[in-house]
Structure 1
C-alpha cells in the first residue's frame, strides 16, 4: 500500500462523494438564502411599520403643537384680563378708601365710656 492511498477515504462506506458533498453544501446555502430572505422580508415590514409610526407621531406632534399655541393664546388673553381686573381692583380700593375718609369726616364717632 502506497502512502498516498492512506489518506484517500473516497471509497469508504458511508463517505459522501464529491458530488454529494457539493449537493449538500448547495442545500445548506439554499436554506440559508431562504432564511435570510425571510429575515429581510420581516425587516422590510418592520421598517415600513416604523415609517408609518413616525408619520403618525409627526401628525400627533403637529396637532399637539397647534393645541399648545391655541392654549397659549387663550392664556395670554386670560392673563391680560387678570391684569386689567387687578388694576380695576386697586382703583376701586383707592376710591373706597377716599370715600371712607370723606364719610369719617362727616360722621362723629360716638364716645363710649368704658
Structure 2
C-alpha cells in the first residue's frame, strides 16, 4: 500500500510542532546526554576493574606467601615425623634389649632356684 502525496497532511504550520532544525537539536541533546551517561558508566567500570586488579594482586601475593609457609610447614612436619620414627625405633630396640636382658636374668634366676 502506498501513500499518495496529497494524502499526507502538512503539519509544518501547526502551532507547537518542532521544525526539522529543532528536532535535530533535540535529538543531539539526547545523544549528548547518553554519551555523558555512558562516559560516567565507563569511568566507574574502569575504577571497579582497577580495584579488582589490585584485589587480585593482593590475593595472589597472599597466596604465594601462604604457599611458602605451607611448604615450610610440610618440611617441618616431615622432619618431625622422621625424628619421631627414629625415636620410636630406638625405643623399640631399647625395649627389646631390656626384654632380652630380663629374659636372661629370669632364666638365670630359674636355674638358681
TM value normalised by structure 1: 0.86
* Unaligned 5+ runs, structure 1: 109-114
1:14 offset after TM fit, Å? Answer: 1.6
State the shift of 1:7 in Å: 2.1
> Would you say 1:44 and 2:46 are equivalent positions?
yes
Structure 1 residue 63 and structure 2 residue 92: aligned?
Answer: no
CA RMSD of aligned residues (A): 1.7
Runs of 4+ in 1 over 6 A off after TM superposition: none
Aligned to 1:95: 97
Q: TM-score, normalised by structure 2?
A: 0.87
CA offset at residue 107 of structure 1?
2.4
Structure 1 Cα separation of the partners of residues 8 and 43 of structure 2:
49
Unaligned runs of 5+ in 2: none
Task: Tell me the CA shift for residue 6 of structure 1.
Answer: 4.2
